[in-house]
Chains A and B, each alone.
Chain A
């Protein structure tokens, strides 16, 4: 498994052609208290850069764009009951969905964790 990060503050944990997707600790800090997450259902085809999920914080609703193209295989059902997992464990139990990747080359150019952290420090 390899961790990738995007400039939209999403992470992908990739094993072969499957990935688990979520948002980063920086992103959850910017959003504030998360009270609802709308995740794509299994079977939905998502495209890189297109809307895939919606996060509702106390402040506002924010779109989350799919960091890669492919098909959703599983939504994180735990978020329905406990959306605050996005705040408490953004890179753990607060994952959004799992997907199969249709174009592994989309991972090229994404950051590793060290590069992402260095970049976030400049924001």
Chain B
């Protein structure tokens, strides 16, 4: 157990590699209750759009949208999920910055109900749908980035088909009174094992998903982070979000640096903070890195100068005075296995 965002969190149960591979093959249960669950009442879509670059007014019921809270320079204050529900907009934000997010939203004139009486579980992996639909019939009909209201054992559930592993799976919001019993029932399924923070990190890294506070922070903007997809079409035309001038300028003209994936030669992992070189010239820094269990080799995310960001570019990473050969590769490092709606690009 380690302290994280004010919570005692398990790094691992039986071992990070075993838990990682189990999630890719079966189903892993993650307690992600440290994440902030917020409700914004109906009628505040426009106020929210003033703080992030997503199309919120056009967000359909039961649809999730990945978005970014931005500062006036276009720097990323947090990344989050926004879903339209009957009772308003449901936001899931990162645990480490949730208090700051709530204050930021409120200072933008938004009424935020911080629901710390709700727990959040993630059930991820190819067998997650079998397990969850057995307990909560109907969830199998949800497609990727869709959500709905369900019930189990007298407890209300808000179930989203989404996650942070690159696998099919669900995120389940449930009141704290019911979460322990629900988690026990999930863990009793032969397909399910509990998964710690360690494998959560290695799974998301392989999936090419950035981690706030490491790959994203106020010093990075959506374009250099490779998150231009989070800027909805209408907002690209209309602007009106913090840092729009800078962001839309870089959207057209390109960012001076980019978040890229690196395949690292050999077995020595390159970790956060390691410098990236093109010959003798430092061109960037690793923001996440480690051994990738499903790839069987070390991988990394880094920000590098745009000139060095093309797939196939040979670079070097400095680790303890030695240079590791690395190659820029497309992300995800491991293909995603989402169950998408036909014709959907959500």
Contacts and interface: CB of A to CB of B under 8 A. Distances in A.
B163 interface: no
Contact of B267 (A32, A33, A60, A83): A83
Contacts of A80: 267
Given A32-B12, A33-B15, A33-B16, A58 B291 contact: yes
A58 B199 CA distance: 9
B1 interface: no
Contact of A32 (B15, B269, B298, B320): B15
Give the interface residue-count category, chain B: 10 to 19
Contact of B268 (A33, A56, A59, A60): A56
A61 B271 contact: yes
Given A58-B202, A59-B198, 12 more contacts: A32-B198, A33-B18, A33-B291, A35-B269, A35-B298, A36-B269, A38-B268, A54-B320, A56-B268, A58-B16, A59-B12, A61-B271
Interface in B142-198: 198
A61 B12 CA distance: 16
16 contacts: A32-B11, A32-B16, A33-B15, A33-B17, A33-B291, A35-B298, A36-B267, A38-B268, A56-B291, A58-B198, A58-B202, A58-B291, A58-B293, A59-B16, A60-B271, A80-B267
Contacts of B198: 32, 58-59
Interface in A73-101: 80, 83
A35 B320 contact: no
B290 interface: yes
A36 B271 CA distance: 13
B46 to A, nearest CB: 44
A36 B202 contact: no
Contacts of B291: 33, 35-36, 56, 58
Interface of B: 11-12, 15-18, 198, 202, 267-269, 271, 290-291, 293, 298, 320
Contact of B17 (A54, A56, A58, A61): A58
A56 B269 contact: yes
B286 to A, nearest CB: 13
Contacts of A83: 267
Contacts of A58: 16-17, 198, 202, 290-291, 293
Contacts of B320: 38, 54
Contacts of A59: 11-12, 16, 198
A84 to B, nearest CB: 9
B213 to A, nearest CB: 17
Nearest to B291: A35
Contacts of B16: 32-33, 57-59
A61 B272 CA distance: 11
Interface in A99-120: none
